[in-house]
């Protein structure tokens, strides 16, 4: 099958590296240098200390018809990708963004494409323009965005390597919400406090602040099972205690964070329901201040 992967970040490279074992993969990158590097040297993937190299074609500019297109760009680059996709013939497109803000954009997108949503539960870190570390083996859970047919997709996505399972679920919304909840509890705090994930539960003051954020998010999302979900968040802090969250990494490296996709989305939902979310409002604004300091565009 022919699979197109849009975006050459950690998740884009991870998908390309695994899926190229059974499929013809084309990677669409933003920068020409990255496309050339992938075409010359292939994609290097390191997992459990072992390294392997996969061949993939790469190019800039999204064109062609594929059995499946996978969009891996971050939310703050999604809109430009949607504009490009609008010019393509009708095909299947799987969206792998973090947070839930992209659902609102897809809802408003007038398109004939068949849309699918996926939730990535892998850990991955981009090492260079052609190399990715698979730091945590998980799965990708996916489902149809509206009422798209899933039979062909299910068949297609059975042919994947053992360390890169693609699991169909009709409860993807719930999976996405729980991942968002974890993200909104861990990411902003670790970025603002400049601490690793584990410190959020070893420092009682930080844990209290995380609990405040959790309660606001639970009420905005209207999620039941509050105790189970809080235990889930704590267990993720334990399992990833030595990790720097993606948002902390973004701040340290001076990159734009996924603030809008994560906190921004929840604040929009809060406003629509007239729910006051002071801690999330505070995190959102002070992250914005910290980001602007970073890029030196602040005053």
Interface contacts to a copy of itself, rule CB under 8 A: 192-195, 203-206, 208-209, 212, 252, 276-279, 281-282, 285-286, 289-290, 293-294, 298-299
Provide, rounded to whole angstroms, the least separation between the CB of residue 201 and a copy of itself: 13
In the bound state with a copy of itself, the residue whose beta carbon lies nearer, of 61 and 254, is: 254
In the bound state with a copy of itself, the residue whose beta carbon lies nearer, of 208 and 242, is: 208
Question: Token pair of 37, please?
Answer: 């590097």
User: 233: which DSSP letter?
Assistant: H
Q: CB count, 10 Å around CB of 21?
A: 13
**DSSP H or E segment with residue 168:** strand 166-168
Structure-derived torsion over alpha carbons of residues 231, 232, 238, 240, reported in degrees to the nearest 10: -160
Provide, rounded to whole angstroms, the least separation between the CB of residue 228 and a copy of itself: 23
Catalytic site residues?
Answer: 179
Provide, rounded to whole angstroms, the least separation between the CB of residue 290 and a copy of itself: 6
Provide, rounded to whole angstroms, the least separation between the CB of residue 193 and a copy of itself: 5
CA distance 13 to 10: 5
Q: What is the Cα 257 distance to its own chain's centre?
A: 12
Contact indicator for 5, 54 with CB cutoff of 8 Å: no
In the bound state with a copy of itself, the residue whose beta carbon lies nearer, of 40 and 205, is: 205
CA distance 184 to 210: 9
In the bound state with a copy of itself, the residue whose beta carbon lies nearer, of 65 and 276, is: 276
Q: Are strands 123-128 and 131-136 parallel, antiparallel or unpaired?
A: antiparallel
In the bound state with a copy of itself, the residue whose beta carbon lies nearer, of 174 and 196, is: 196
Contact indicator for 180, 265 with CB cutoff of 8 Å: yes
Provide, rounded to whole angstroms, the least separation between the CB of residue 262 and a copy of itself: 17
DSSP 3-state of 77: helix
CA distance 150 to 232: 30
Question: Token pair of 165, please?
Answer: 């399972």
């Amino acid at each position: 099958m022919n699979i197109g992967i849009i975006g050459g970040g950690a998740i884009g490279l991870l998908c390309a590296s695994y899926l190229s074992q059974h499929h013809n993969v084309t990677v669409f990158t933003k920068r020409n240098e990255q496309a050339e590097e992938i075409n010359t040297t292939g994609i290097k993937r390191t997992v459990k200390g072992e390294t392997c190299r996969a061949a993939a074609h790469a190019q800039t500019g999204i064109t062609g018809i594929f059995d499946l297109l996978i969009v891996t760009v971050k939310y703050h680059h999604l809109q430009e990708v949607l504009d490009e996709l609008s010019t393509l013939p009708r095909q299947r497109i799987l969206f792998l963004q973090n947070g839930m803000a992209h659902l609102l954009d897809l809802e408003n997108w007038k398109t004939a494409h068949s849309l699918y949503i996926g939730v990535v539960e892998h850990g991955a870190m981009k090492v260079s323009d052609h190399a990715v570390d698979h730091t945590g083996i998980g799965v990708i859970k996916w489902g149809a965005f509206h009422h798209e047919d899933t039979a062909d997709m299910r068949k297609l996505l059975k042919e994947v390597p053992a360390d890169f399972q693609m699991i169909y679920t009709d409860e993807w919304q719930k999976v996405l919400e729980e991942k968002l909840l974890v993200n909104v509890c861990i990411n902003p705090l670790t970025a603002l406090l400049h601490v690793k994930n584990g410190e959020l539960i070893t420092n009682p003051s930080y844990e209290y602040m995380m609990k405040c954020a959790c309660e606001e998010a639970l009420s905005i999302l209207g999620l039941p099972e509050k105790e189970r979900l809080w235990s889930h968040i704590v267990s993720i802090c334990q399992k990833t205690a030595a990790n720097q969250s993606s948002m902390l990494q973004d701040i340290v490296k001076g990159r734009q964070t996924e603030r809008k996709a994560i906190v921004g989305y929840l604040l929009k939902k809060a406003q629509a329901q007239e729910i006051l979310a002071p801690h999330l409002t505070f995190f959102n604004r002070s992250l914005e201040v910290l980001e602007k300091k970073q890029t030196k565009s602040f005053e």
